[in-house]
């Protein structure tokens, strides 16, 4: 920490510059979200700054549009279902990857994680063509499979990273003391990796909730998910109804940030690097 | 699991060898669609635009992301550091549709940015900031910023402080220390961030569709348009091109990563 103290004594013009830059960059990050909230109270149907008059008419308009309600409901159900499925498969896959010697582990790992680099639109169109071919397009399970496929790599990556740091003698101790494999998993292993599981669940839910490219071909008018509905609405209209809806979604995101920071309180971030010398891998 | 990915991609690959003529699909094996794609100057422009957009977005993300990651690393009050990290991270939680919409509002002719520029006399009349490449680039940079900041931040925190102290004790000033010690050692983070930004920018669909105004015709949009026009062979060939470009980019960045770590 000597470095930090020494640099404080020098009149640090470069730190002032860095501070100003950080504030500017923070503004850059916040601005598009802040302007959406502001625009949702705009009285007129076009984008104008500063707003001439404030009103809540777009919220009234939003609440009268059943199509958004239904889409939001569908999105939440879909995200919850696919998150649940992905967690079960993902934890099992991560466990197998970390604990067992599998044939060609690098190949398995690469194929499990490959969707991260696969362009989403390619995955979406490929799945669409595939489901058309096997005549499963108008089936809810096709949508569910798609979303599970998209979020599974994140779950596997996070859970296996946390399992890699797990002290396996604990598992042996539990088994020696007479606990069965399932009991050991639930009482000994799961509590240790709960933070990663929790974070990957939040991530998986958000990612599923935010799918446009992969979902847009699988849904029809009347069965759209919320982001697809918003995307298609914005292709036709630009009025602040979307701003009102977006404001609600931003509030939802803020609630999630609060949830995450509660989960992280007093705990070390799992994705922060270990200090040198304390590497366990 | 692997099957679930492989089967659709094989279907996709198969369609790329069919052709689309006079409004209907002909299921015969042919390289027609490929050769049209490779030799049509229209698709050359599409590919060039895609690569150019991804390159600009990557460079801009690094230019904003590096100082931000450095600031995050140097802040020595944990509370501020935590809030700044949360702030940088938070846009990920908001739908990309919402963020792109935010940029449309922000950059529109009567939006806040133009209002400020006019107000302070920078411009005489509103500039067209959106529904062109500029708007797409700014918005994508915003979307990818967290993916660039965190790898750089994590490689900075892995730095051994003793190295810096040694450089300073040997008489190097802060700029030399940064240029010769800190920056080279943080290169793996820079490359990792650039890799994520570049591959995500290649595959970006929502933002170019919303903010491009039809003027930014990148490969993902071309694939989407071809699919909605039921011209599946062209969509498949476009998608294959996108896939190949992404894979080449990932491989190139992996090589670069090995090289940067070896230093």
Q: Is the per-residue pLDDT at A8 higher than 60?
A: no
Q: What is the pLDDT of residues B209-222, one digit of tens each?
A: 988 887 888 999 99
Listed range (A85-94, A244-253, B8-17) with the worst mean pLDDT: B8-17
A105 interfacial to chain B (CB closer than 8 Å)? no
Please report whether residue B14 resides in a domain. no
- C-alpha to C-alpha distance for A46 and A194, rounded to whole angstroms: 47
Listed range (A51-65, A100-114, A162-176, B223-237) with the worst mean pLDDT: A100-114
Bridge partners, residue A54, by sequence: A42
Per-residue model confidence (pLDDT) at position A113: 67
- C-alpha to C-alpha distance for B120 and B122, rounded to whole angstroms: 6
Q: Given an 8 Å threshold on Cβ–Cβ distance, is A28 in contact with B64?
A: yes
Please report whether residue B5 resides in a domain. no
Among candidates B11, B103, B164 on the partner chain, residue whose Cβ is nearest the Cβ of A130: B11
Cβ neighbours of B157 (radius 10 Å): 17
Q: What is the pLDDT of residues A11-37, one digit of tens each?
A: 578 888 888 899 999 999 999 999 888
Per-residue model confidence (pLDDT) at position B160: 82
Residues of B in contact with A256 (CB under 8 A): 93
Domains and CATH numbers, chain A: 66-264 (1.10.3720.10)
Is the alpha carbon torsion for A135, A141, A144, A148 positive or negative? negative
CB B84 within 8 Å of CB A23: no
Per-residue model confidence (pLDDT) at position A267: 61
Q: What is the pLDDT of residues B77-101, one digit of tens each?
A: 888 888 888 888 888 888 899 999 9
Q: Is the per-residue pLDDT at A133 higher than 90?
A: no
Q: Given an 8 Å threshold on Cβ–Cβ distance, is B1 in contact with A123?
A: no
Per-residue model confidence (pLDDT) at position A187: 83
ipTM attached to this prediction: 0.85
Half-sphere exposure of A270 (CA within 13 A, CB side): 22
A209 interfacial to chain B (CB closer than 8 Å)? yes
Please report whether residue B24 resides in a domain. no
Please report whether residue B111 resides in a domain. no
A255 interfacial to chain B (CB closer than 8 Å)? no
Number of domains in chain B: 1
Q: What is the pLDDT of residues A199-209, one digit of tens each?
A: 889 889 998 99
- C-alpha to C-alpha distance for A10 and A6, rounded to whole angstroms: 7
Q: Is the per-residue pLDDT at A271 higher than 70?
A: no
Please report whether residue B33 resides in a domain. no
Per-residue model confidence (pLDDT) at position B3: 63
Higher pLDDT, A280 or A250: A250
Q: Given an 8 Å threshold on Cβ–Cβ distance, is A26 in contact with B168?
A: no
Per-residue model confidence (pLDDT) at position B2: 59
Q: What is the domain-level CATH number for residue B59? A: 1.10.3720.10
Average pLDDT over residues B7-22: 78
Average pLDDT, chain B: 86
Q: Within the 109-128 window of chain B, which residues sit less than 8 Å (CB to CB) from chain A?
A: 110-112, 114-115
CB B90 within 8 Å of CB A257: yes
Please report whether residue B254 resides in a domain. yes
Please report whether residue B29 resides in a domain. no
A130 interfacial to chain B (CB closer than 8 Å)? yes
Q: Given an 8 Å threshold on Cβ–Cβ distance, is A209 in contact with B68?
A: no
Average pLDDT, chain A: 81
How many angstroms separate the Cα of A141 from the Cα of each of A60, A206, A218, B41? 35, 19, 11, 41
Count how many pairs of residues, chain A against chain B, have C-beta atoms within 8 Å: 214
Q: What are phi and psi of A42, to 5 degrees?
A: -70, 140
Percent of chain B with pLDDT over 70: 97
- Residue B170's domain spans which residues? 40-91+131-262
B98 interfacial to chain A (CB closer than 8 Å)? yes
Quote the minimal CA–CA distance from B155 to chain A in Å. 8
Highest-confidence segment of A32-36, B121-125, B175-179: A32-36
Per-residue model confidence (pLDDT) at position B76: 81
Residues of B in contact with A231 (CB under 8 A): 97, 206, 209-210
Residues of B in contact with A149 (CB under 8 A): 4-5
Nearest residue of chain B to residue A86 (CA atoms): B1
């Amino acid at each position: 920490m000597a470095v930090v103290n020494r640099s404080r004594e020098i009149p640090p013009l470069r730190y002032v510059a860095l501070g100003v830059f950080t504030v500017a960059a923070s503004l850059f990050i916040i601005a598009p979200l802040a302007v959406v909230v502001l625009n949702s109270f705009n009285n007129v149907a076009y984008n104008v700054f500063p707003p001439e008059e404030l009103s809540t008419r777009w919220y009234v308009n939003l609440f009268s549009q059943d199509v958004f309600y239904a889409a939001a409901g569908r999105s939440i159900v879909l995200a919850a279902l696919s998150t649940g499925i992905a967690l079960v498969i993902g934890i099992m896959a991560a466990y197998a990857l970390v604990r067992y010697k599998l044939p060609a582990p690098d190949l398995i790992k690469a194929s499990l994680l490959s969707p991260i680099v696969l362009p989403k639109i390619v995955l979406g169109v490929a799945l669409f063509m595939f489901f058309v071919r096997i005549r499963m397009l108008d089936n809810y399970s096709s949508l569910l499979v798609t979303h599970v496929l998209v979020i599974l790599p994140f779950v596997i990556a996070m859970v296996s990273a946390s399992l890699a740091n797990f002290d396996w003698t604990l598992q042996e101790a539990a088994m020696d003391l007479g606990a069965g494999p399932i009991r050991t998993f639930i009482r000994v292993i799961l509590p240790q990796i709960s933070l990663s599981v929790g974070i990957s669940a939040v991530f998986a839910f958000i990612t599923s909730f935010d799918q446009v490219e992969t979902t847009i071909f699988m849904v029809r008018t009347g069965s759209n998910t919320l982001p697809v509905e918003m995307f298609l609405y914005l292709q036709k209209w630009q009025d602040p109804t979307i701003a009102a809806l977006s404001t609600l979604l931003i509030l939802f995101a803020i609630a999630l940030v609060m949830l995450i920071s509660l989960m992280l309180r007093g705990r070390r971030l799992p994705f922060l690097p270990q200090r040198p010398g304390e590497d366990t891998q | 699991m692997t099957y679930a990915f492989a089967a659709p991609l094989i279907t996709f690959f198969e369609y790329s060898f069919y052709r689309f003529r006079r409004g209907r699909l002909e299921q015969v094996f042919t390289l027609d669609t490929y050769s049209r794609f490779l030799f049509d100057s229209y698709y050359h422009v599409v590919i060039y635009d895609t690569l150019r957009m991804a390159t600009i977005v990557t460079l801009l993300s690094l230019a904003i992301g590096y100082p931000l990651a450095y600031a995050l690393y140097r802040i020595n009050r944990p509370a501020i550091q935590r809030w700044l990290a949360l702030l940088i991270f938070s846009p990920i939680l908001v739908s990309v549709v919402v963020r792109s919409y935010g940029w449309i509002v922000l950059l529109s002719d009567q939006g806040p940015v133009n209002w400020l520029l006019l107000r302070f006399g920078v411009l005489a009349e509103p500039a067209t900031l959106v529904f062109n490449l500029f708007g797409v680039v700014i918005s994508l940079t915003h979307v990818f910023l967290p993916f660039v900041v965190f790898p750089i931040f994590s490689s900075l925190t892995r730095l051994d402080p003793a190295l810096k102290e040694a450089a300073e004790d040997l008489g190097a000033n802060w700029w030399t220390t940064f240029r010769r010690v800190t920056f080279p050692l943080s290169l793996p983070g820079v490359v990792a961030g650039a890799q994520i930004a570049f591959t995500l920018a290649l595959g970006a669909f929502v933002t170019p569709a919303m903010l491009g105004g039809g003027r930014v015709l990148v490969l993902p949009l071309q694939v989407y348009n071809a699919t909605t026009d039921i011209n599946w062979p062209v969509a498949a060939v476009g998608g294959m091109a996108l896939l190949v470009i992404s894979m080449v980019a990932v491989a190139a960045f992996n090589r670069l990563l090995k090289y940067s770590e070896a230093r």
